[in-house]
Amino acid sequence: MPEKPHLLQIGSVTDRMRSRFEAEFTVHILFDQPDRAAFLAQMGRQIEAVATDGHWGVPDDVMAALPNLKVVSSYGVGYDAIDADGVAAKGILVAHTPDVLNDEVANTAIMLWLAVSRNLIPADRWVRSGDWEAKGNMPLAQSVQNRTVGIVGFGRIGQTIADRAAMFDARVLYHARSEKDVPQEYYADLTEMARASDVLICITPGGAATRHLINADVIDALGPDGILINVARGSVVDEAALVTALSEGRLGGAGLDVFEAEPKVPDALKQMDNVVLTPHIGSATVETRQAMGDLTCDNLSQFLKDGTVLTPVPECRGLM
């Protein structure tokens, strides 16, 4: 039997993914190697495929040690941790997992908005602490009905969020690099959109182009009654400016799934009742992670079959 091609696994995978990798590849797990440099020096030339995720990408030392790498399959839609242009220039295909997580991430965004707006976490605490019995009813919350919702990033997930927001009779605005042929209102100027919005939901890619897109000016435009939801990447929001605005009452509240230095979260945010924090769980359900895992494996299987992948990142489409 011919030797199976060698695959380097970076980050953790499910058992189901591991079984599929092992059926087609000789699998090496980067983080199991006691001496990473020695392992890369010894095995690097044999590795033709990498399986990774949106958090780890392909670190520079790993990429430099894999001269025969042909394909990278990433378990996630966001690939800002991979230098896609640089990798594509070397003729290496990069695949990701778009679409299969649109509903889940949109649901997470809406869950955070509802939780912040309706004071879900303080309400739960009110019951558990005995405050309900001792103090009576809680102060009133803010409705999610009939709000103006500004969506920053209007791609696959952003448009799915818009569909969800319509169920609350929202007026939906959006900001993206380009205007789309959609009924929602386009704002080329993000600060202007924030000024018009009650809720701003961020769902752009991360990376240099979107770093601190949500800055102090945007936050001030959203204002003391406004709510910021971030399910994009931590880098998209200027976290220091966000913390300052929240602590000075210049922003009404925030729902945050992603942070600048995950898993570190500023202590100040943890103290705030008008902030809901989740540990990057946008797509983290059994069902959606299974679909993402299957697509990660399907991309590799397809590559072995005919040298293409099912869902390449845009930078690599020219390679197929």
How far, in Å, are 151, 268, 316 from residue 234 at the CA level?
16, 16, 25
Report d(CA 226, CA 204) in Å as an integer. Answer: 19
Distance CA 197, CA 310 (A): 37
Three-state SS at 144 = coil
Exactly one of 6, 28, 280, 289 binds ligand NAP (CB under 6 A); which one?
280
Footprint of ligand NAP on 80-109 (CB under 6 A) = 98, 101, 105
Which residues, including other chains, have CB under 8 Å from residue 107's CB and lie 6 or more apart?
A: 164
**Distant-in-sequence, close-in-space partners of 54: CB < 8 Å, separation ≥ 6:** 74, 75, 76, 77, 78, 79, 80, 81, 96
Selected from 59, 155, 223, 266, the binder of ligand NAP by CB under 6 A is 155
- Regarding 150 and contact with ligand NAP (CB under 6 A), the answer is no
Instruction: Write each residue from 32 to 61 as x if it is in contact with ligand NAP (CB under 6 A), else as -, in one continuous string.
Output: ------------------------------
Among 41-49, 164-172, 201-209, 294-302, which window interacts with ligand NAP (CB under 6 A)?
201-209
The candidate with the shortest Cα–Cα distance to 253, out of 199, 194, 173, 172, is 199
Which one among 48, 257, 260, 315 touches ligand NAP, defined by CB under 6 A?
257
Q: What is the rounded CA–CA span in Å between residue 318 and residue 124?
A: 52
Residue 119, classed as helix, strand or coil, is coil
Catalytic machinery residues: 233, 262, 280
If binding is defined by CB under 6 A, does position 20 make contact with ligand NAP? no
For ligand NAP, which stretch binds (CB under 6 A), given 36-44, 67-75, 82-90, 155-163?
Answer: 155-163
215-234 footprint of ligand NAP as x/- string (CB under 6 A): ----------------xxx-
| Diameter over CA atoms, the chain | 74
d(CA 72, CA 7): 9
Among the residue ranges 25-33, 130-138, 175-183, 264-272, the one whose residues contact ligand NAP (CB under 6 A): 175-183
Q: Does 66 bind ligand NAP (CB under 6 A)?
A: no
Residues that bind ligand NAP (CB under 6 A): 77-78, 98, 101, 105, 153-158, 175-178, 203-206, 209-210, 213, 231-233, 257-258, 280, 282-283
